[in-house]
Amino acid sequence: MSEELPVLERLQWHAPDSATFRDRGDAGRQLAGRLRDYAGRPDLLVLGLPRGGVPVAFEVARSLEAPLDAFVVRKLGVPGHEELAMGAIASGGVRVMNEDIIGQLDISEEAVASVAADEQRELERREHELRGGEPAEPVEDRTAILVDDGLATGATMRAAVRALRAQRAGRVVVGVPIASPEVCAAFEHEVDEIVCARTPHPFGAVGAWYEDFSQTTEDEVRALLTRARTG
């Protein structure tokens, strides 16, 4: 661990090694071992970020004997340069904006509102489709563990965390199999606990740490959520 990154009371660090995860299921099982202190809590809820975070979260929820749900976050792309994020929206009606990008590119309020409206419709569609019409799990006063298959910049996870805070979750925990030490440290002040199973340096890309990082489909997400509900 770099000397520039302090040991933080609420941040679990684990020395990197050369092994990779076989796939997202394997990553979820390994991550669940780091989260075992939460097993059996009656207020526990595991939330996977679609699509790639749901197979990881499924294994975590099964190991911890907790309910599973999807937590949808949509990037707000700059008009004409959609790969560049000017913000994000998340389940629960929360919007997180990058005011620096908006100011630098002089993006109008009307343009922001138009992109946000389009993405909100897509967010609602995806929530309905992924859950098969089932209602979302309530988060108020619960211990919510947000799970993804890895953290690169952390922008998507940050929007999800803020959305959970807005919905009055009792405790917000972030759990990921792989992330850079810097990104893990950045979340220390935003969540009650962050658990990164591995924090290699240099980090590179999330997919580089998986033997199989093939795209997760919406059908696979729906199937996992159904399996979790029906036991």
> Could you tell me which CATH number the domain at 74-131 has?
3.30.1310
Q: pLDDT tens digit string along 6-34?
A: 333 344 434 344 458 999 999 999 999 99
CA 115 to chain centre: 22
Helix (H) or strand (E) holding 27: helix 24-34
Determine the Cα–Cα distance for residues 64 and 44; give it in Å rounded to an integer.
9
For the chain, residues classed under CATH 3.40.50.2020 are 11-72+139-230
Q: Please check the confidence at residue 4 and state whether its pLDDT lies above 50.
A: no
> Could you tell me which CATH number the domain at 11-72+139-230 has?
3.40.50.2020
What pLDDT is stored for residue 9 in this prediction?
36
Determine the Cα–Cα distance for residues 40 and 153; give it in Å rounded to an integer.
31
Q: pLDDT tens digit string along 113-164?
A: 999 999 999 999 998 889 888 888 999 999 999 999 999 888 889 889 988 9
Q: pLDDT tens digit string along 169-228?
A: 999 999 999 999 999 999 999 999 999 999 998 888 899 999 999 999 999 999 999 999
3-class state of residue 214 by DSSP: coil
What pLDDT is stored for residue 152 in this prediction?
86
Report yes or no: 170 and 141 within 8 Å, Cβ to Cβ: yes
Helix (H) or strand (E) holding 30: helix 24-34
Please give the residue that has the higher pLDDT: either 2 or 74.
Answer: 74
What pLDDT is stored for residue 174 in this prediction?
98
For the chain, residues classed under CATH 3.30.1310 are 74-131
12 phi, psi to nearest 5 deg: -90, 120
Report yes or no: 13 and 199 within 8 Å, Cβ to Cβ: yes
Q: Which amino acid belongs to residue 180?
A: S
Give the mean pLDDT of 61-72: 96
